[in-house]
Structures are given as C-alpha cells and as structure tokens.
C-alpha cells in the first residue's frame, strides 16, 4: 500500500509499505480517506532537534476514513462506517483516561504523525477506543479537521471556559487555525466575537467567518479597543493562544468574573526552534536559546496533544 513518510527533515516521499496485519482484538482497521494539515505537521516536517522519533516516519496527525475491518470483540463499528481517529496514543488506563480526559493522560506513547507513524497511508490499525463515528452529512474532508483543530477549540471554549450564547468573547489571532475555528464556534451559539489580526488583508476573511469586530493589533492596542467596543465592560471570555505578547493585555480586557482560557504555546519560542542549526547546535547563540529550547519542548508537547475528544461531553 502507499504511504507518505518523512525520510529526512523537509523531505517527503510517496513509498510502498507493507499493509497492516488484520486488526487484533479490540482494534479496527481504517481505510484513510482525508488527512488534515496542522501546525504540528509543519514542525515535524521542518525537523525538531528534541523530538524523540526515528525516520522514516509516516506523517499525518489528524485524518478521517472508513472502517475496513474490525477485530474480535469490536461491536461499535461495522465495515464501511465513516470515522475519525484520535492520534494521541493515550494509555486508556490512567485516572485521566478513565475520566474521559485523554488530553491529560500521564502515559502517552506518542503523537501519531509526529513521534510515531501517522495517518498518511492507505490502511491503519487503531484501538477501537481511539476511533469516533462520523455523523451523517459530514464530509470526509470536514471530518478530518475534527480531532485536533475543532476538538481543541471545543474543549477550550465549552469544557473549560463554559462559553454561553449571548456572551462577548475576544479571540486572539482570528486568522490562525484555531482562531478561525473559535470564531465559527462562538458565532454558532450566538456570541459577540471580537478578534485580532496582525494584517489588514485578514480582516475580510475573519468577518466572513462571522467576527463582529476586528482589531489590527499592530495598529491599535487590542485591550483599549476591546474596552471601547464593550462600553468599558470588558468581555466574558478571552481565547488566548498567543502567549507572553498578549497575556497581560488579555487580563485587562476581561469583565468582572470573566474567564481566560489558555492554550500553552508561545510563538516566540516556536520560532527559536526553527532557527537553522549553527556549528552543530540548533541553539548555538547562548543560554537564552538553550533555555528557549527546553521551554519549547514542554510547550510543543502540550501543543501536540489534541484536546479531549469525549463523545459524551454534553
Ligand atoms: Zn492515560
């Protein structure tokens, strides 16, 4: 069967690989139909010095497909059924997993497509508990975006921030992957959405997604603009995923009793990680960069873990 492995940093090839064996007990075999692209794929493609992994490695951290075969004891799925896959190999046994909070699993065996072989291949075997049925009417392409991009935002907005219809929310970086999803989800339940962009060319795009107010944070201070828009009240929820540059300002935009929901990743550190290797060391220019590398490892790992995909959430 065909697969898309990364054979070296920035080098992908289409390769023939052996198909998987029939699914074991408790496993399903999935015919992959669509693979999404996330920032973790870009990081993996560029190469990260710290990532514990071996090349070649099949890419693809998020995908949809259909059941090709089921192993012994699997009753939830039948061949032909459309599904999405959860690519974090959580243990299923720890307290977090048993509570349905897989994103906090203490024994993750790796992120598929980043640490271990991912979904960009024709067939893949996976534990039944990491597979979710796709409802009727959802396309393969749309379903492929659910496990990371949409479930991360769903978890942040509804499980954690308890966002309610009619509330006002500030969504940072509305043109980013999870920023666009946050705008759409907040509008879907009737929120007032204020969003920031770093470039005027993104304004029409975020408005088309439903944003009510758009602030170019390079031209105007978003905290002042947000307070103006809300008649000095502030917003109910801030969707914060930028980091140090915006964190303090985000606190200032909250109304009394407001909630700030945070996804831990700092772009400045992510950028340090992309510095080219110099003199045999990725961060050759001193302690600052070595420190950044350590911080970046923690943050990137947090970033790489998709949010909980509990089916019975609400
Ligand atoms: Zn676990």
pLDDT in tens, 207-261: 999 999 999 999 999 999 999 999 999 999 999 998 888 999 999 999 999 999 9
Q: Which CATH number fits domain 2-144: 3.30.1490.20, 3.40.50.300, 3.40.140.10, 3.90.180.10?
A: 3.90.180.10
Q: 77 C-alpha to center of ligand 1: Å? A: 23
Q: How far is the CA of 100 from the centre of ligand 1 (A)?
A: 9
Q: Dump pLDDT digits (tens) for 110-158.
A: 999 999 999 999 999 999 999 999 999 999 999 999 999 899 999 999 9
Q: What is the pLDDT of residue 265?
A: 60
Instruction: Give the separation between CA 288 and CA 230, rounded to whole angstroms.
Output: 39
Superfamily of domain 151-262: NAD(P)-binding Rossmann-like Domain (3.40.50.720)
Q: Is the pTM higher than 0.85?
A: no
Average predicted confidence (pLDDT) for the chain? 86
Q: How far is the CA of 111 from the centre of ligand 1 (A)?
A: 13
* Least confident residue range of 2-6, 80-84, 91-95, 302-306: 302-306
- Separation of CA 40 and ligand 1 centre (Å): 21
Higher pLDDT, residue 285 or 202: 202
Residue that has been written with the tokens 């349905």 in this structure: 100
Percent pLDDT > 70 in the chain is 83
Domain ranges of the chain: 2-144, 151-262
Which residues have C-beta within 8 Å of that of residue 139, sequence separation ≥ 6?
A: none
* 245 Cα to the center of ligand 1, angstroms: 33
Q: Give residue 27 CA to ligand 1 midpoint distance, Å.
A: 17
pLDDT above 90: residue 183: yes
187: left (phi over 0), alpha (psi -120 to 50) or beta: alpha
**The pLDDT value given to residue 295:** 39
Cα(241) to ligand 1 centroid in Å equals: 25
Q: What are phi and psi of 195, to 5 degrees?
A: -135, 155
CA 255 – ligand 1 centroid, Å: 36
Question: How much distance in Å is there from the Cα of 212 to the middle of ligand 1?
Answer: 40
Distance 101 CA to ligand 1 centre (A): 8
Cα 237 to middle of ligand 1, angstroms: 30
Q: How many angstroms is it from 24 CA to the middle of ligand 1?
A: 20
Q: How far apart are CA 221 and CA 225, in angstroms?
A: 6
Residue 296 CA, ligand 1 centroid: distance in Å: 23
Phi first, then psi, for residue 168 (nearest 5°) are: -105, 135
pLDDT at 88 over 50: yes
As a whole number, mean pLDDT of residues 93-100 equals: 93
In tens, the pLDDT along 103-119 reads 899 999 999 999 999 99
């Amino acid at each position: 069967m065909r697969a898309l492995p990364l054979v070296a940093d920035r080098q992908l090839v289409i390769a023939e690989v052996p198909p998987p064996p029939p699914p074991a007990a408790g496993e399903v075999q999935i015919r992959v139909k669509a693979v999404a692209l996330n920032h973790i794929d870009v990081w993996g493609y560029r190469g990260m010095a710290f990532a514990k992994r071996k090349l070649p490695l099949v890419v693809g951290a998020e995908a949809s497909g259909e059941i090709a075969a089921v192993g012994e004891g699997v009753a939830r799925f039948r061949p032909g059924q459309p599904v999405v896959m959860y690519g974090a190999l959580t243990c299923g046994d720890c307290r977090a997993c048993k509570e349905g909070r897989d994103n906090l699993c203490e024994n993750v065996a790796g992120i598929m497509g980043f640490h271990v072989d991912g979904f960009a291949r024709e067939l893949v075997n996976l534990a039944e508990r990491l597979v979710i049925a796709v409802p009727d009417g959802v396309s393969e392409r749309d379903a492929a975006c659910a496990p990371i991009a949409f479930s991360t935002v769903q978890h942040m907005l509804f499980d954690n921030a308890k966002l309610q219809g009619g509330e006002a929310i500030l969504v940072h970086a509305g043109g980013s992957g999870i920023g666009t999803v946050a705008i759409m989800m907040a509008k879907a339940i009737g929120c007032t959405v204020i969003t920031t962009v770093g470039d005027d060319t993104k304004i029409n795009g975020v408005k088309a997604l439903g944003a009510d107010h758009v602030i170019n944070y390079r031209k105007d201070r978003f905290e002042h603009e947000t307070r103006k828009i809300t008649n000095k009240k502030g917003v109910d929820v801030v969707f914060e995923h930028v980091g140090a540059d915006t964190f303090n300002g985000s606190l200032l935009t909250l109304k009394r009793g407001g909630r700030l929901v945070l996804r831990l990743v700092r772009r400045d550190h992510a950028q340090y990680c992309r510095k080219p290797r110099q003199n045999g060391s990725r961060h050759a220019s001193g302690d600052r960069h070595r420190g950044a590398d350590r911080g970046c490892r923690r943050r990137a790992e947090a970033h790489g873990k998709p949010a909980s995909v509990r089916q019975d959430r609400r």
